[in-house]
Every structure is written in structure tokens, then in C-alpha cells.
Structure 1
Amino acid sequence: MCGIVGIVGKDEVAPRLLEALRRLEYRGYDSAGLATLVNGHIERRRAEGKLGNLATVLEREGLAGTTGIGHTRWATHGAPVERNAHPHATTRVAVVHNGIFENYAELRAELEAEGAVFETETDTETFCRLVDHLLAGGLEPEEAAAAALKRVHGAFAVALIFAGRPELMICARQGAPLAVGFGEGEMFVGSDALALAPLTRRIAYLEEGDHAILDCGSARFFDVDGEEVEREIRTTAVSGAATGKGNYRHYMEKELHEHPAVLGDTLRQYLDPKTLEVRLPRLPFDPARVPRLTVSACGSAFLAGQVGRYWIERLARIPVDADVASELRYRDPPLSEGGAAILVSQSGETADTMAALKLLRERGQKVLSVVNVPESSMARESDATVLTVAGPEVGVASTKAFTAQLAVLACLAIGMGRARRELSTLDEGRLTQALLTLPHNAALVLEKDAQIRELAAEVAKARDVLFLGRGPMFPIAMEGALKLKEISYIHAEGYAAGEMKHGPIALIDSAVPVISLCPSGPLFEKTLSNLQEAAARGGRIMAFTDAAGAPALRRFAEAVIELPEVEPIAQPILHAIPVQLLAYHVAVLKGTDVDQPRNLAKSVTVE
């Protein structure tokens, strides 16, 4: 959600802090700021809106100092205005914070009773003034930070600097990610390795409840009980060169065009093209014996999980429950003894999915996570991990990570089907071969860009759009609607095509595009019938299909775009690409902020 950076360095840090914040823009934000120590005193520069506004402030009012912290804020408590922007500071301490302090109101009342005067509505200021109060009482910074951390509840990550202590930074995490970077005679703090990639690739991750004390050349780590501990320093695979736009206008456009490579890289991890076998890593449960699976995630990752549910039930004959992570923990479902769960996340830091992980493990379920970030909290805390190989995804709307998740889930479904002897060797080979054609076929879909742009010109005129699909194409219809809502701000809904006549058909008129995902196969005729019902009521039918399905659709559809004809297991992955590309072109035509749509964050680390 929010982004944190910090440097205890040798040279002026403001330019480097600003650049690190740019690498955290993908997380979503609505204000930003820096604080440094200048001649031992805390100086701040903050701005509402984009980082360009903060850069303008820094050009007008320079900021010296070799120790500093920076922040991009996504508003939770208090409006997204400059006075609520981080860092929050007193004359003694400055703080940046990601997450929520759940007991801030109680602490604020306590501090106000002691005479503290608050300037903002934020929970972060409460923590800042709590530390300041402890400093005023005579505690050293290390003692004051540790004492304050014991008083606050919630999910958070923080970094603090102190007046008169340019060699010192303190950071901590509880339920939100934070990394410490090791440089040559300087140290770094960041919300993720991507922020620190140009600065260092030597990273240590704080574990739950940890805090760390940094100086110019080292870090000391302390666990939740205050005991000094060792934390492994890793060399991260994240590259500082991985996030440029290249020749593309937007990160999302670049990432859309990375679908073929990402699918190839991901599938090569799990498929043997010579033997046409699936080679899965060791799973934390026995697929042949597991009685039931739970799939959970948020946003597009949940939609990938829903497609995975279709595949696992069809190919492996394992019953699967699918729950949005934010609902799973509160629905409190009965879970099968010996059961297991598959969690899906791009960042591996999503707060709701992490909460679901904790619940599932407490209930004795083995947890397998599908994640894109091997150093993430979810990867570290799961029983086992299957990695997507999507690389950094900067655009807030998930694209290549979504198809990589689908590819992994397809491999899992085939592998579990073989383990349960529901699939023969011939079945495995046929399905594996179908997946191996995806990189080439994804490239062919991207060649339809001009046709999809023409379709986007019509969709951009609409106020409401319906997406329809059946079977595994139903979650892809919801993905198309989600993408359109996220980045173009057009109201869109995805429905199971057979459900249209049970209510949504009332919305159909000549102003409502009906976008169908309608590949040939066992469900084609049923979907075709549903579309004809919509066309009879004036609906504008726009269909994605293949060569076998196109003739029947062209009899009544306004637009038909042919995709490569593939096996059913590959159809949802392939159809995800054009609906994402359609949303992109609609958003560009409408002039919205494609990479950073309003009110959204890439990694939602608050509940």
C-alpha cells in the first residue's frame, strides 16, 4: 500500500530517496514526502498528489542531509492532503509508516491528556507523538522506539530518524513487509527489494514483530521479545534495470506485451518439453490423498484461483472451495482434516491473503502459495511455494502476473490429476503440449492489437458494459470487467452467460456492449444461445472466439475477433490477454492514469 524508503548514508540522500520512491509508485499513493537531518535538525518536504509535485518542491526548496526517510502515502486515516502526508515529525523524531495502528485513538486520548497537541487526523502522528513523549521523558531513541512499539497494535511497518543522531535509523514491522539493505558504508530500508534495487542487492527481511537498529555500516535485529537475533542476508534477484518502460507509453502496455515471454519462462519451470511431463516442486500435501482444497486470494489473483478451481476439479477430481481472502477468515468455514490450501498473490504481501494464510495454518491446513516474489512474506510463511516468473509488475492493474498465475495453476491441476491417476500419460502429454503452445499463441493474440483498439473506440463510449463467459471463461469475463473498471472507470460486470436471463438481461439495450468470451468447444452452443437472447433485445454483441466459432457469431455480432484455436485448458489463459488489452486501449482513449488509477494500490497491505 504505502511505500517506505530510508538511507543512512555518506552523500546527500534526497535525490536517491526520491528515485527509490519512484520505484514504489506502482503500490499506489496520493501524497509523498521526505525528511532528512540537516545539521542535526529534522527538515521535511511534502506534497499532495504525484511525485512530480514533490520533485518541484525539492527544486524550489532543496533538502540536504545524509540520513533520511521517504514515503508515498495511500490515505487511510485523514484526507490525502499535504498536512496528512508523511513523514510526520516533531523536533525530536520523524516517522514514516505503512499500515494501520488500530489502537491509535486510545493512545491519542492518553497523549492529549498529557498535553500533546495534534495537527492531523492520522494514526501515524499518534505513534510519532508517542515516541516524542518517551524521548521527552528521558529515554534514548533506541529505548523510546522499543517502548512505543510495545504499545501499538495493528499491521504496520515504520522507519524513524532522530534529531542529533545522523548515524541512526530504527525500523520495525508487524504484519507489513520491510527490508533492510546493506551497502558499502551505508544502510537502506525499503518496503520491498524493488525500491532498493539500484542501491543494493544484499537484503535482509524483518520477520514478524522484529525491529532493527541501523547505523552507517551495520544492522542489529531484535525479535518481538526484544532479544537480539540474526537475520539472513540474501542476494536478491530483483534487478534495478527490470522496471523501465522501454519504448512503450505505459508500464501496463509494456507488461501486456511481455505475456509471451512470461508464459514461456513460467511454463519452462514446470513442464518438460521433451517428455511432455509436468515436473512440480515438492508439495506440502499428497495430491493423491488430500480430501479437499481451499483456494483463496484477492482481486485478479482470486479470479485466477477460480479458473484453477475448474481445472483442479475437472482434471484431478479434488473438491475445491474458493473464497475471497477477506471473506474466508470471517466466514469461519469448517475445514477438512488433512485438507490443504492454495493461496495466490502477485506481491505475496496482501494483508487479507496473509490473514487467510494464518487462519488456514492455525486450522491444520497445509498451505501452498503461488507468488511472484520469492522473498515475500507469503513465500516465507507458507509450507511450500510455487513461483510465477513474471518479473516486476509495475502497473497497478495486474496483467502478465495474472496469466503466469493461470499457467502455474494449470500445471498444478495436471500434476495432481496424474498423481491421482485421473489422467493418463497420453492425457498429460496432450495437456502439456497445449500449454507449451501458449507463448506463440499469446504473441499471435497481441498481433490483434489494431482490431482490439478499434473495438475499444466503441466500448469507450459506453457507461455500462457486460462481459459474459461460461465455465472457466466466467472468471475471465469477471477479469475483463475488473480491468475495465479499474483503469477506465467505466461500470462493467462479468457474468456467467447462463445467468444473464436471471436478471442482468434487464440492462440490455443498444447502448450496452456485451463482450463475450466464446471459444469453440462443449459450451459454445449454450453461450451462443445466451448471446442471441441479448442480441434480440438490442444488445451490441462483441465476441472473442476462434476460427471454429467465428462463422456462427458473425451472423448477429457487431464485432468478432478471432483468436488462435487451442485446447480448452489453454483457452482461459489466451482469452485473458485481449480483455486486458481492450481495457488498456479504452483507458488510453478516455485519458485516465493507466498505470496508477485513482484510489488503487498495487500491494494492499492494510485490511
Structure 2
Amino acid sequence: MCGIVGAIAARNVVPVLVDGLKRLEYRGYDSAGVAVLAGDAIRRVRRVGRVAEMENAAAEESLQGQVGIGHTRWATHGGVTEPNAHPHVSFGKIAVVHNGIIENHEEQRERLKGLGYAFESQTDTEVIAHLVHHYYQAGDSLFDAVKRASRELTGAYAIGVIAVDRPDELVCARMGCPLLVGLGDGENFIASDVSAIVSATRRVIFLEEGDIGRLTRDGVELLDKDDQPAQRPVHVSDVSLASLELGPYSHFMQKEIHEQPKALSDTIDAVQDYGFNPELFGERAGEVLPKLEGVKILACGTSYYAGLTAKYWIETIAGVQCDVEIASEYRYRSAWANPNYLVTTISQSGETLDTMEALKYAKELGHRYALSICNVRESAIPRASELVFFTRAGAEIGVASTKAFTTQLVGLFALAVTLGKMRGKVSAADEARYLDELRHLPGSVQHALNLEPQIKAWADKFAAKDNALFLGRGLHFPIALEGALKLKEISYIHAEAYPAGELKHGPLALVDEDMPVVVIAPNDTLLEKVKSNMQEVRARGGELFVFADLDSHFSESDGVHVIRTPRHVGVLSPVVHAIPVQMLAYHVALARGTDVDKPRNLAKSVTVE
């Protein structure tokens, strides 16, 4: 969960590295550093904290160089200290940046100590620097030294390497973590994400598993995992600089919450283009989908909650069995596999390590078909899947997922209706109605966004609290889970979510006047049940904060606060109700003064276990 950028050019690359790290800071922000080749030495600047602190230090030291690497860190091995910050250097000759986890680092550390290497950090990355140096000083070229060293590493990694006496090359390698090469005019780049280099080039090559690359100013040489020359396609990125800037907003989370009508509209356009037909999910979908006997969804965090919502849709609309599992748990248990279940992975980045490994495990167990719901083209999980639905959320920078979540829901809803149509469960009239509901969804979401002043007023009441409960039933229980997650991850208020009917089976013991209880109360068939559960809370002195549909006939009273979302929008109601819980978390975090976009201990793209 770190960010990497590197460059080789005929100009000073330090501004490129610093700008790239700023754009990658969402991936890790415990510390940052850069290293460049300057004459016959490696010059390195590292600082604990944000990229801006490192940038100031680099300016004070007049750091310059035409070949360099940079890194922003989310700590795994070793605490947040300058010695643990990247880049790591071996004997002043080799500098390395690394994203991922080296599982055999302790074994390699002991071996290298026996060879005379002293370690200055607690990280697994320093092992890579010394291992490369070991082979380099033995006579290997830098490229061959990186190749030999990487083949001895167990785990996941993306690495960039420079050597003091090789000012004409930058070497990189990838296994399990994202890394791409950017192609410029007389200059080339590496990065974890295209956003880091989009100001310099839009032409990129996505490295595949086991690839090793050698970059010069004029070209790129690649070997695949079998040490054979590799040709990878060149893609022209459509990421816009505007999407990576705040514009008129105070935070990326705020910006991304407000971008949801467009993100949803863009994603819905794909459904409108294809209709609820197999082609929506790729060329092979017409062959695969009729064979299915069920769906198994694998995901983590917010994407897992999207999967829980989809379970209701898939079983209700399509009449198909659907299981939803946390990817990090599934991959470590003896699971039962039906080859005719569609393994559906959900990941904003397409690089979530737990989800990728769960997909690999599912295939090892005998699952034959995989679908990826993803927001990033050319990422690892879609490439490993037979079928793909790409959401069109655009770049999501804030750590707390917002527009990625709601667009995932659209993709999953489309899957449910498509399966239902293919099985004769969805009539032509049903299909037309579902398409119409999708068309109106962005407008309903905009209506929910207009509730921001009312939600902001609630935030002051929450800011002084230490705990909160979220309640929902049926389709909206996952939205309660998502609301609790958002509140805890950016405001640091402990929050839990329960199906409202479960309140009496234990959680009710927590309810008192200091426990705010947020209720998702749409005007659906479970509304009267939810009202009864609310009475249980009021009888214990709990204060209720209710998100109710316009036509739910709720009235405010002492201890019961109500905000009315748009009129009930049917089965797509979870998408609309996701908006106010996102906004509540955002404004509570503002009121508490936390770092909204970069909450403590977290990072955006989770590429480690």
C-alpha cells in the first residue's frame, strides 16, 4: 500500500518525482523519500510525514538528478521512522523503492547478514537493496542483478532500482503489485498508478506478473517471468488532470461524493447501450452466463458491502443462489466449489491483493468462470477474469470509497437483471421498468445531495460522541454497514451496524442517551418493522437519526430527528440511501478536525495482506 514513481530523462527529474508522489499520496502517507543519481553518488532525501515535508527538504538541499526514484509509504514492516522510509540504499551503490510484502525477508536477512551486510531499518525492503547489491558487485549487470534478486523473493512486490555507476538506466520488476511504464519523448518513467505520470505522458505499458524492465532515455526492454523478451501493448490513458485536482472542493471525498450523479450516469450509459444482455459483461458472457448455477461474490471492505446488497438483488430478481464472502477469509479456508458458480470479484482498483489471491484460490478449487466488477482498466483482477464490467466512476482519490461504491452497485444490479432475463424471471415489462429506474437514478442521487445542509447540522450532534449504532433491514442493512464503516474510518467514532431486528438480541444493551442511532428507513415492505425497532430504541432513551423516504410518513419528535430523502425508488433505493450516510461521515469528520482524505492508519489501494 505504497506509491512508487521513477524517471530517467535528460532533464532534472526531481519535480517529476515530487509531483508524482503528491498524486500517489493517497496510497500511503506515513513517510516519503526520493533518491537521484548525482555525479558519482546517490543523493537521498527522506522525511516522516507528508510529501510536502520531503519536498521542502529536497528544495533546501537543491536536490537534482536526471535519474531517480521516489516513494510514499504506508508502514508494514517497521514503524514510521526515517530509517524505515524509502528509498533504501545498499553501500551507497544501489537504491531501491518497493511496494508489497516480501514473505521470506527474515530468511534473506539472515543470509545477507552472513555475507557481511548490516541493516539500518526494520523493513523487508532493505533486503531487496542488499540482495541486488550482492549480485551487482559480483559482476552482474544491474538488469541481471535485479532479475536474480527478484527470483529469490517470495511474496508480492513492485520495485524500482537505480545504481550509482549506471546513469543510463532504471530497472523495475513486478509480481503481485501494480507497476506500469510510461513512455515519453527521450525520457521514460515507472509508477504504481498512471496518475503519477499523467502530467509527463499518457502512453503507458502495464507490466504483467513476473515482468522485469530496463528503462533508458530512449527505450524499454522487458523480460517476462520465463526470462523471454516480452512485448506489452501500449495504452493511451484517458485519465484527466482535472480529475486529479480538487477544483472548488475542500477535500477529495467531498468532491467524489458530489461527482456521483455523473459517475452513475456514465456507468448507466453502458447498460443503456447494451441493455440487460450478456454482451454487457464481455464477449464470452453469452457462452458463460447460461451455464451458471449460482454466484459467489468475493470482496473486501466497502466492495464487500456492495456484494451483500447484490445478494438480495441476484436471489430476488434472478432467482439464483448467491454467496458473499470476505476475500481475505475465503482464501484461507477449505472452501466448497461448484465449477458452475460465477466467481464475482469486486474491487475499485483491480489490484486489491486479498481479492486477487481469493480469485486465484477459487480457480485452484475448480471454479471455471470469473467476473470482475472494477473501476480501473488494465488492472490485474480484470485481466484474470473471463468477464468484466468496468464502472465509470473516474479517478477516486479519497481513501473512503464513495462513487466507486455506488457505481459498483449499478454493475451488480445489471448482473442481477441480466441473469433474471436469461432465466425468464424478468419480463419485457420488467426490463423496461428497470431501465427507466436506472435512468432516473442520477436525479434521485442529486436530490439526496441537496440534503447536505440538513446533514451538516446533524454532524455537530455526532462530533462529541464516541460511539454510534446504524440500523437497516433487508436491502438496506448493507447500507447501514457502509454508513458505520464510513463514520469510523474518517471520524474515528466507534460505529457498528446491525439488522434492525437483531437489536433485541444483544445490541440494545448499549443504547442510552449517549448512543446516537442512525436508521435507514425507506418506504418499503419492512418499514413498519423498522418503526417498531425504533420504538425499542426510544424506550431506552436512545436518540434516533432517521433517513426516511419522502413518502414514509415519519414525523419528528423529542429524540427523533428525520431527514427525508427522495421518494422511494424501488429496488435501487440502496444507491440513494448511500449518499446521506457518506455525507454524514464527511461532515462529522470535519467537525472533529480529522484528516478526511487521509485517515490515520489507512491507505487507498490495499496491495498487502
Shorter-chain TM-score tier: over 0.9
Q: Contact 2:180/2:192 (CA < 8 Å) preserved in 1?
A: yes
The residue number in structure 2 matching 1:141 is 142
When residues 279 and 164 of structure 1 are mapped into structure 2, their CA distance, relative to the original with a 3 A threshold, is: closer
Report the count of equivalent residues.
605
The residue number in structure 2 matching 1:394 is 397
> Which letter does structure 2 place at the counterpart of 1:457?
D
Map 1:322-401 onto structure 2 (within 5 A): 322-362=324-364, 363-401=366-404
The residue number in structure 2 matching 1:562 is 564
CA-CA distance at 1:28 after TM superposition:
2.5
The residue number in structure 1 matching 2:313 is 311
When residues 209 and 554 of structure 1 are mapped into structure 2, their CA distance, relative to the original with a 3 A threshold, is: same
Separation of aligned partners in 2, 1:571 and 1:272? 23
> Which letter does structure 2 place at the counterpart of 1:133?
H
- Greater shift in the superposed pair: 42-51 or 195-204: 195-204
The residue number in structure 2 matching 1:211 is 212
Q: Contact 1:541/1:556 (CA < 8 Å) preserved in 2?
A: no
Q: Contact 1:303/1:476 (CA < 8 Å) preserved in 2?
A: yes
Q: Contact 1:99/1:157 (CA < 8 Å) preserved in 2?
A: yes
- Equivalent position SS for 2:162: strand
The residue number in structure 1 matching 2:494 is 491
- Matching of residue 57 in structure 1 with residue 57 in structure 2: yes
Q: Contact 1:550/1:560 (CA < 8 Å) preserved in 2?
A: no
Q: Contact 1:466/1:513 (CA < 8 Å) preserved in 2?
A: yes
The residue number in structure 1 matching 2:293 is 291
The residue number in structure 2 matching 1:599 is 601
1:402-454, CA deviations, whole angstroms, 9 ceiling, x for partnerless residues? 11111111111111111111111111122221121111111111111100001
Provide structure 1 residue ranges, at least 5 long, that are not aligned to the other structure: none
Separation of aligned partners in 1, 2:187 and 2:326? 42
CA-CA distance at 1:287 after TM superposition:
3.5
Map 1:510-529 onto structure 2 (within 5 A): 510-529=513-532
1:66-112, CA deviations, whole angstroms, 9 ceiling, x for partnerless residues? 10000001111111111110000122110000001111111111111
TM-score (norm 2): 0.97
- Greater shift in the superposed pair: 376-385 or 70-79: 376-385
Q: Percent identity of the aligned residues?
A: 46
Separation of aligned partners in 2, 1:8 and 1:215? 7
Map 1:98-137 onto structure 2 (within 5 A): 98-137=99-138
CA-CA distance at 1:135 after TM superposition:
2.0
TM-score (norm 1): 0.97
- Equivalent position SS for 2:331: helix
The residue number in structure 2 matching 1:430 is 433
When residues 556 and 434 of structure 1 are mapped into structure 2, their CA distance, relative to the original with a 3 A threshold, is: farther
1:471-520, CA deviations, whole angstroms, 9 ceiling, x for partnerless residues? 11000000000000010000000111111111110000001110000011
> Which letter does structure 2 place at the counterpart of 1:329?
R
Q: Contact 2:276/2:421 (CA < 8 Å) preserved in 1?
A: no
1:383-408, CA deviations, whole angstroms, 9 ceiling, x for partnerless residues? 12101000000101001111111111
Q: Contact 1:276/1:429 (CA < 8 Å) preserved in 2?
A: no
1:208-235, CA deviations, whole angstroms, 9 ceiling, x for partnerless residues? 0110111111111101121111111111
The residue number in structure 1 matching 2:73 is 73
The residue number in structure 2 matching 1:503 is 506
The residue number in structure 2 matching 1:184 is 185
- Equivalent position SS for 1:229: coil
> Which letter does structure 2 place at the counterpart of 1:390?
A
The residue number in structure 2 matching 1:269 is 270
1:237-256, CA deviations, whole angstroms, 9 ceiling, x for partnerless residues? 22233211111111111111
Separation of aligned partners in 2, 1:131 and 1:331? 36
1:168-227, CA deviations, whole angstroms, 9 ceiling, x for partnerless residues? 111001111100010000110000112121111111111101101111111111011211
- Matching of residue 577 in structure 1 with residue 579 in structure 2: yes
Q: Contact 1:69/1:96 (CA < 8 Å) preserved in 2?
A: yes
CA-CA distance at 1:277 after TM superposition:
8.3
Q: Contact 1:343/1:353 (CA < 8 Å) preserved in 2?
A: yes
Q: Contact 1:182/1:217 (CA < 8 Å) preserved in 2?
A: no
Separation of aligned partners in 2, 1:277 and 1:416? 9
- Greater shift in the superposed pair: 429-438 or 445-454: 429-438
Q: Contact 1:262/1:404 (CA < 8 Å) preserved in 2?
A: yes
Separation of aligned partners in 1, 2:380 and 2:208? 8
The residue number in structure 2 matching 1:416 is 419
The residue number in structure 2 matching 1:445 is 448
> Which letter does structure 2 place at the counterpart of 1:462?
K
CA-CA distance at 1:124 after TM superposition:
0.6
Q: Contact 1:278/1:411 (CA < 8 Å) preserved in 2?
A: no
CA-CA distance at 1:567 after TM superposition:
2.9
CA-CA distance at 1:593 after TM superposition:
0.4
Q: Contact 2:176/2:353 (CA < 8 Å) preserved in 1?
A: yes
Q: Contact 2:288/2:369 (CA < 8 Å) preserved in 1?
A: no
1:280-332, CA deviations, whole angstroms, 9 ceiling, x for partnerless residues? 23354643441111001111011011101110010001101100110111123
- Equivalent position SS for 2:280: coil
Separation of aligned partners in 2, 1:516 and 1:165? 62
Q: Contact 1:442/1:577 (CA < 8 Å) preserved in 2?
A: yes
Provide structure 2 residue ranges, at least 5 long, that are not aligned to the other structure: none
- Equivalent position SS for 1:390: coil
- Equivalent position SS for 2:591: helix
- Equivalent position SS for 1:330: coil
- Greater shift in the superposed pair: 301-310 or 336-345: 336-345
The residue number in structure 2 matching 1:2 is 2
- Matching of residue 589 in structure 1 with residue 591 in structure 2: yes
The residue number in structure 1 matching 2:546 is 543
The residue number in structure 2 matching 1:473 is 476
The residue number in structure 1 matching 2:22 is 22
- Equivalent position SS for 1:260: helix
The residue number in structure 2 matching 1:240 is 241
Separation of aligned partners in 1, 2:594 and 2:189? 34
